[in-house]
Chains A and B, each alone.
Chain A
Amino acid sequence: MNQNDLPEIDYARCDRCELCITSCPEDALMMTDQGPTFKLPHSCTYCLACENACPTAAIRAPLTVTWKSD
């Protein structure tokens, strides 16, 4: 995983309800023919709002857990 990783959208599960788009505080998503996609990927703060809003579990936003090494 790196800084630019984004929530993963599974189009096979998506029913195009647009709840992810309306829930995004950064307006980072837009609807396309295949389903929601990132119009502003760099605006995404990985806040998890779209994953929480999705009723079909089509969005996965995995978290990486590590000890802080310093």
Chain B
Amino acid sequence: MATNPNDIEKNKRLAALQPTTKKELALRSFTTQLTAGETLIVEGMPAEYGYFLLSGSVRVLRMNREGRVQVLARLGPGAPINFISLISKQKRNQSSVEAIQKSRFLVLSTSDFDDLRMHYPDFSACFLEIFADRMSRMTDLAAGLSLYTVRARLARFLMALADQSVQGDWTQDEIAAHIGTVRDVVGRLLREFEADGLIKRNRQQIFLLDREGLIRLSEDDS
């Protein structure tokens, strides 16, 4: 029950740890694999493990007030998962996480996570960076929400997907969570973009037709 050191080296953050810390992390952690649709953690259950996504992709889900399951985020390789739940007071999983495709994870128990944080300052610093990055992403998203219209944010994101600077096939829900809106708005805007000749939909394919028009739209401020 240990992690292959190569898996640690493939993760940019973990690879930057001191050799002794990496060795200890490899000894205390293990890897697991899920196929598409399998659940990694369930919202509200005791938080027992934190994870790093080694390959594949997952979606983060939470039940909303109306009892509907909502997609909060989609994560790709390298993403840390559930560590905030491990250090929260309630020590409960704050959301559910499910594999979108075959995915591999490095798994670390709460007690090993706590031990490593206590005894390996670089490990602790790594998590401070992770949390600082998350805060900064939230700030960027908040700034994006106030600076750009949702049409502009969707136009940017569609171009990022087409340019493959963002990987994968995304659902309307996942796109909505990523650009800070709701699925219905994404659906309505896709129909508007199509009516304006910017895109064309054919079943699951969205073809971007008008680069200039989309770039102009992506600069639309609020």
Contacts and interface: CB of A to CB of B under 8 A. Distances in A.
Given A8-B36, A55-B67, A66 B187 contact: no
Interface residues of B, number: 35
Interface string B197-222: 00010011111110100000000000
Chain B binding surface, main DSSP class: mixed
Contact of B170 (A8, A10, A45, A63): A63
Interface in A40-55: 45-46, 48, 51-52, 55
Given A57-B70, A57-B71, A12 B39 contact: yes
A11 B219 CA distance: 42
Contact of A46 (B161, B175, B183, B203): B203
Max chain B C-beta neighbours (<10 A), residue from A5, A13, A55, A68: A68
Contact of B169 (A1, A10, A12, A68): A1
B208 A65 contact: yes
B207 A5 contact: no
A26 to B, nearest CB: 12
B147 to A, nearest CB: 23
Contacts of A51: 171-173
Contacts of B205: 1, 63-64, 66
15 contacts: A1-B169, A1-B204, A3-B203, A5-B203, A13-B69, A48-B187, A51-B171, A52-B172, A55-B68, A62-B168, A62-B171, A63-B169, A63-B204, A65-B161, A66-B205
Interface of B: 36-39, 59, 61, 67-71, 98, 100, 158, 161-162, 168-173, 175, 183-184, 187, 200, 203-209, 211
